Amino acid sequence: MFSYSTVETSTQLLVSAFETDLPVLPEVRAKGLDWVDIISDSAEPLIPIVFKAHESFAALKALEGIIAVALCKERFGENENVKAIVNCNHAGLFPAMSFLSTVDELYKWDPGMKKKIKDTDLNHVYGDVYRRMLTNIYRTKDGRFYHLHASLNATPTFEALGLPPYNANIVEKRAAHEVIQARALELTSGEIEELVRKINQAGSPCLTQEEFLATSYGKHVSSRPLFELEQLESTSPPLKLSPEGPNILSGVKILDLTRVIAGPVITRTLAEYGAQVLRVTSHNLPDQSYYAVDFNFGKRTIDLDLKSSEGRKAFENLLEEVDVIVDGYRPGALTKLGYGPENLLKRFAGKRGFVYVKESCYGEGGEWSDRPGWQQIADSVSGVSWANGKHWVWKNPSRLHFHWPISGELGCIATLNALHHRLTKGGSYYTSVSLVRYNAWLMSLGPYPEEIWRSMVTAHGQDSQKLRSSSNFDEVGLAAIRSMQRLYPQLLQDPDFMHVAASTPFGVVKTQSPVVRIEPYKTALRGWLNVTRPAEYDSPAEWVVT
């Protein structure tokens, strides 16, 4: 009988994370592993991905807890006897958050959800089947595969491919897939890559792990720590936070300049520690409306157009008191507006320190660092899509069962770490995370033992085996949720794992509760500072004392 322990493997992976030369302070490296306990109710991995995704989630949540404890000790006293607790099963559910959440008991895929959320799909990427199916893996003329992506506006890529940006005659996924697939078969993977790069849109050839590691970028990113940290200046005094708290990040003001999944996950998790988060979006910019249900917990949301004089004035007033700026937009977008890290360094010179957090697909340095991207693109370029597909019946690169929020988790860890530096040493810091760096680390951990993987395929096969290489990420995620509901119904009903907000602008929202448990320095065990709400819900654009 083959024995396996998610707790033991998660602990090993936590040690592996430290071995990526994490830029943490010496006391975290020396004592951190003693500050966290990883526990589990069962030894089975939950998510049918061939790599150790479940355990990597638990390891990163444990790392989050370690740095949160370090902050706690720095703020409330070194002798504080606190420890982080991470349940592996709870951590395994974390990336599935948006599929698990409900509004008035309706799931994301229920038709009635459309009436409960504000439509911010300005370019009809999510509601139009034809445009939605652009985000998929397609076979090319040379027998390779390429992952196209609609991003938040599918029109540029459709036009680059010579296809109409809209097709009102197509209302079924299969028909949309056939049209786009037919065009992809007329071009080589390299030709599609050239078209996509020319218009600066997201997309990637599906590389194997070996092909990825042979590129100069693959070599670069694989040699880097899980997150980057750069001290921008050292003259600002340490951040002063009241020892009265009550929570680890009480009094910390964070501007959330992000969209869709990974970026909003960073700030949602920081809000769990009592930070005051203000999410800034614009009614002129598209977004995925549904994710607000999960990822706007703990936040206030405002509407500002940073290209207007009024919007810039209001934003600059907010900057006067900000502690952390989280940037999830395309590389260089905020710098062009005058709000990049170097711009803020000049603005705050001699006044105050700050932390600037950058979340992106490709990260810092390397020849691809200026490219836009999404989790599916990171999966394709890094070899994860090929590796996972080969272990399922279709033997081609495939979409993964949800792990999209994980770079958001890395961003939360990186932010906590930068704040620990600022609280301890003073100064200002730039910290960054990338989707591809997580993937490179995940693959370096190796696949599950064959016996465990066969068991997972057998358990989840009833739902996942129905998928095809043409299945998009919604179908893949839904299949995983259905098998988890069938196999682990008790986890989805666990009151410690799920949080119910009885009164929100959406209705009664059920979402995942915070994974890391640190008592008594965490408000989210009793509820966030703010319940979730749609984008652009609050006014005026000012910090509110809570």
Say yes or no to pLDDT of 14 above 90: yes
Average pLDDT of span 71-92: 90
d(CA 325, CA 526): 26
* Weakest mean pLDDT among 168-182, 194-208, 396-410, 435-449: 396-410
Specify whether the CB–CB gap between 428 and 230 falls below 8 A. no
Nearest to 176 by CA among 136, 119, 122: 136
Concatenated DSSP letters for 211-267?
Answer: HHHHSHHHHHHHTS-SSEEEEEES-SPPPP--TT-SSTTTT-EEEEE--TTHHHHHH
d(CA 366, CA 77): 41
Q: In which band, very low, low, confident or very high, does the pLDDT at 401 lie, cut at 50, 70 and 90?
A: low
**Cα angle 335-282-315, degrees, rounded to a multiple of 5:** 55
Nearest to 378 by CA among 141, 218, 197: 218
Say yes or no to pLDDT of 525 above 70: no
Say yes or no to pLDDT of 463 above 80: no
Say yes or no to pLDDT of 493 above 90: no
Say yes or no to pLDDT of 191 above 90: yes
Mean of pLDDT over the chain: 91
- Classified by CATH at the fold level, domain 6-120+212-525 comes out as Rossmann fold (3.40.50)
d(CA 349, CA 523): 33
Q: What is the pLDDT of residue 394?
A: 65
Q: What is the pLDDT of residue 429?
A: 98
For residues 273 and 350, the model is more confident at 273
Provide CB contacts within 8 A for 30, sequence distance 6+: none
Per-position b or e across 516-541, b if 16+ CB within 10 A of its CB: bbbeebbbbeeebbbbbbbbbbbeeb
Percent of the chain with pLDDT over 90: 67
**CATH class of the domain comprising 129-204:** alpha beta
Q: In which band, very low, low, confident or very high, does the pLDDT at 44 lie, cut at 50, 70 and 90?
A: confident
Concatenated DSSP letters for 232-243?
Answer: EES-SPPPP--T
d(CA 178, CA 154): 17
Percent of the chain with pLDDT over 70: 97
Say yes or no to pLDDT of 469 above 70: no
Q: What is the pLDDT of residue 1?
A: 43
Q: What is the pLDDT of residues 312-346, one digit of tens each?
A: 999 999 999 999 999 999 888 999 999 999 999 99
Q: What is the pLDDT of residue 527?
A: 61
- Tell me which residue has tokens 């591809």: 436
Domain boundaries, the chain: 6-120+212-525, 129-204
Beta pairing partners, 39: 87
Q: What is the pLDDT of residue 215?
A: 96
DSSP letter at 409 equals H
Q: What is the pLDDT of residues 344-399, one digit of tens each?
A: 999 999 889 999 999 999 998 888 999 999 989 999 999 999 998 888 766 788 87
Q: In which band, very low, low, confident or very high, does the pLDDT at 481 lie, cut at 50, 70 and 90?
A: confident
H or E, element range at 76? helix 53-76
Model pTM score? 0.95
Q: In which band, very low, low, confident or very high, does the pLDDT at 79 lie, cut at 50, 70 and 90?
A: confident
Average pLDDT of span 67-75: 95
* Weakest mean pLDDT among 112-126, 253-267, 422-436: 112-126
Q: What is the pLDDT of residues 194-249, one digit of tens each?
A: 999 999 999 999 999 999 999 999 999 999 999 999 999 999 999 999 988 889 99
Provide CB contacts within 8 A for 435, sequence distance 6+: 262, 360, 361, 362, 373, 374, 375, 377, 378, 407
Q: What is the pLDDT of residue 342?
A: 95
In the 3-class helix/strand/coil scheme, how is 108-168 assigned residue by residue?
CCCHHHHHCCCCCCCCCCCCCHHHHCCCEEEECCCCCEEEECCCCCCHHHHHHHCCCCCCC
| Residue 417 CB neighbour total at 10 angstroms | 26
For residues 79 and 111, the model is more confident at 111
Q: What is the pLDDT of residues 278-315, one digit of tens each?
A: 999 999 988 887 888 999 999 999 999 999 999 999 99
Average pLDDT of span 464-478: 74
Q: In which band, very low, low, confident or very high, does the pLDDT at 42 lie, cut at 50, 70 and 90?
A: confident
